[in-house]
Amino acid sequence: MQYTETMTRAEDRSARDSDIDPASEDSQLEDPALEADVFARDCGSREVLQDVTSRWGLLALGALYDGDLRFSALRRRVQGVSERMLSVTLQTLERDGFVNRTVLQSIPPKVEYSLTDLGREVATRLVGVIELVEGHLPDVEQARERYDSR
């Protein structure tokens, strides 16, 4: 059995050496998408995940999933968010490539927000989580009651 494992390792090494172009191997190592690991301390995906799943980020993306909204309509839809916090959240989501900001030519100027293709993909998944949580809210409330009664 040990011989077979040794042969397998040698065969693997030989196959790797003959099949991989050193230039493409280096480019794969430099590709950030291949290195992303949200569980790693310094991974950039943690910051992006935090932006998307923050209280207001999640709700803004969920609201925009239903269609483009002007700032004031978005603020009314996401009840409880301050104007400043919504503005900061939208800037962050725009910077991350999830949201488009369009200034409409009118007097006074109006701004409309929409999802990018990436934003729509993320929002689709977030809406699924939102619907799952809303659908199981009675179960969560019962679990909380059981926990609190201990």
Query: Any idea what the CATH number is for the domain that residue 52 is in?
Result: 1.10.10.10
- Asked if the structure places residue 11 within a domain, the reply is no
Q: What is the count of structural domains for the chain?
A: 1
- Asked if the structure places residue 38 within a domain, the reply is no
**Please, are residues 59 and 53 in contact by the beta-carbon 8 Å criterion?**
no
Give percent of the chain above pLDDT 70. 77
- Asked if the structure places residue 12 within a domain, the reply is no
Task: Specify the pLDDT at position 31.
Answer: 61
- Asked if the structure places residue 87 within a domain, the reply is yes
Q: Where are the alpha helices (DSSP H) in 1-150?
A: 2-19, 22-30, 32-35, 44-53, 55-65, 71-77, 83-95, 117-135, 137-148
Give percent of the chain above pLDDT 90. 66
Task: Specify the pLDDT at position 37.
Answer: 87
Per-residue pLDDT averaged across 120-129, rounded? 97
53-94 pLDDT tens trace: 999 999 999 999 999 999 999 999 999 999 999 999 999 999
Task: Specify the pLDDT at position 32.
Answer: 56
Write out the residue range of the structural domain in which residue 138 sits: 44-149
- Asked if the structure places residue 35 within a domain, the reply is no
Per-residue pLDDT averaged across 21-27, rounded? 47
Per-residue pLDDT averaged across 13-30, rounded? 47
- Bridge-based pairing state of the strands 69-70 and 99-104: unpaired
- Asked if the structure places residue 19 within a domain, the reply is no
- Asked if the structure places residue 67 within a domain, the reply is yes
Per-residue pLDDT averaged across 93-97, rounded? 98
Task: Specify the pLDDT at position 30.
Answer: 60
Report the predicted TM-score, pTM, of the whole model to 2 decimal places: 0.74
- Asked if the structure places residue 13 within a domain, the reply is no
